[in-house]
Amino acid sequence: MRRWAAASIRVRLTGWYAAVLGLTLVVYASATFVAVRHEFMEQLDDQLHDDFEAAEGFLTSTPDGPVAWSGPADRDHDGDEDRGLDVWSAGGERLARVGASEALPPAAVANAGSEAHYESITAGGRRWRTLIGTALVGGRSLVLRVSRSEERLRGQLAEVLTVLLFGLPLVVVLAGAGGYLLARRALLPIDHLATAARRITAERLHERLSVPNPDDEIGRLGAVINDAFARLESSFEQLRRFTADASHELRTPLAVIRGIGEVGLGETRTPAEYKEAIGSMLEEVDRLTNLVDTLLRLSYGDAGTVRLARVPVDLGQLTRDVVSSLAVLAEDRNQRFALDVADGATVAADRLVLREAVTNVVDNAIKYSGRGSTITIRVQREASDAALTVADEGPGVAPEHRERIFDRFFRLDEGRSRDSGGTGLGLAIAKWAVDVNGGRISVAGRDTGGAIFRITLPIAAASVNTQKES
């Protein structure tokens, strides 16, 4: 069984095909044989019937006299080894015995009856077919029995059987071979796909399988595999970029700490200088700690081990809280918030996690908008969603960066990375926080050049009720 399962699809397909074909042919051959046999018997019986009528017509007899054959010689049974004729008087006295009848046992004349009937008998090792009946010959009622040997018939049947028995396996073998070739031909493209797919490894992920006809079965399979390759390639690329970025972000503070330490130890300095050096090192440690914490949180998120306490959260209220908490940052840059918050935008979310998302998006807007600009924040209900949009007057996000801006460490402007104080993870955290709460985050451009970040979350089912109650 195990070996069967291990065999290739081609072999298994051929096996099943041959088995089904063989079975069908056996049934077909049996039916044919039975039909042929029946037909032969009927022919034989017809011949016997002819013989009987001939005997009835060509026999002559006088009352109490002998019986004689007066018909054409070729219809006479005399000397024929395969045919025979017996004639009895109604009283049971044998009047004539012609041809092969020599070998046959006498019939029970009393039982002959008036209706002619067929009977198969075995005599002298041969099988005979007989027709026995009563006939009027020359005004005399006689019992006639015509007989023919079944040997010829059986010989013909044996030939048919031989043909069937030897032909059938041959047909099955030939059909199996054909099936095998067909299966191989049909499965060959799959083999090619597998070989080609094996060739495309991590280093050659940009290559794709060639799909000549994308609409047939093989083509669809190829398209699916290509699709998987594309996704694999993009996640490999993402991972590669992340690893490079992470090592850069992690190593820079380490290099700074090390450098400050080495320079500080280089020669004797004043206590104030040492304090300065140590403080500077601690700042870097702080940055590093922050970074590691954030990365760990994101990786817990990836591993799906973060437990959320989802409760109904008023997105509008949460947004107001965040804005008031970050207001000092905007004030510091002479920025103004334009808040437009609708009621009833209640979503089911983990309050703290969602708050992080909103905080990071609003902070991002503050960071990238110029001094004196206005940040427009809107919370609305849209059908079954609650939507938060944060529109800034910053430089905006080019369309080609709109997917990647939520990637970890992705920065639009490499230059301003460290000094703007961010870790490059704020929007990645925001995306993660929105995703785990079942929402979506996206960025679009504004006609005026800024960016619009948009967070949508499904409205909590219970919010309709709470609205009514309040």
Q: How many CB atoms lie within 10 A of CB 292?
A: 11
Touching other proteins, residues 117-176 (CB under 8 A) = none
Say how far apart CA 396 and CA 5 lie, in whole Å.
59
Asked if 426 is part of the footprint of other proteins (rule: CB under 8 A), the reply reads: yes
Would you state the torsion angle of the CA atoms of residues 361, 362, 364, 368, taken in this order, to the nearest 10 degrees?
140
Would you state the torsion angle of the CA atoms of residues 166, 171, 173, 177, taken in this order, to the nearest 10 degrees?
160
Asked if 275 is part of the footprint of other proteins (rule: CB under 8 A), the reply reads: yes
Asked if 283 is part of the footprint of other proteins (rule: CB under 8 A), the reply reads: yes
Touching other proteins, residues 353-382 (CB under 8 A) = 356, 359-360, 362-363
| Closest CB 279 distance from other proteins, rounded Å | 3
| Closest CB 360 distance from other proteins, rounded Å | 7
Q: How many residues bind other proteins (CB under 8 A)?
A: 32
Read off the tokens for 145: 């029995």
Map tokens 């450098």 to a residue: 259
| Closest CB 249 distance from other proteins, rounded Å | 13
Asked if 244 is part of the footprint of other proteins (rule: CB under 8 A), the reply reads: no
Number of H helices, E strands in the chain: 9, 14
Q: Which of 282, 311, 461, 462 binds other proteins (CB under 8 A)?
A: 282
Read off the tokens for 443: 């960025």
Asked if 71 is part of the footprint of other proteins (rule: CB under 8 A), the reply reads: no
Q: Which of 79, 212, 271, 421 binds other proteins (CB under 8 A)?
A: 421
Asked if 254 is part of the footprint of other proteins (rule: CB under 8 A), the reply reads: no
Say how far apart CA 385 and CA 342 lie, in whole Å.
13
| Closest CB 311 distance from other proteins, rounded Å | 15
Helix-, strand-, coil-residue percentages of the chain, each rounded to 5: 55, 20, 25
| CA diameter of the chain | 165
| Dihedral sign (CA 264, 265, 267, 270) | positive
Our CB check for other proteins shows the closer of 281 and 390 to be 281
Cβ-contact 253, 288 below 8 angstroms: yes
Asked if 321 is part of the footprint of other proteins (rule: CB under 8 A), the reply reads: no
Q: Which of 46, 227, 332, 343 binds other proteins (CB under 8 A)?
A: 332
Write out the residues near other proteins by the rule CB under 8 A.
275-276, 278-286, 289-290, 293-294, 307, 325-326, 328-329, 332, 352, 356, 359-360, 362-363, 421-423, 426, 429
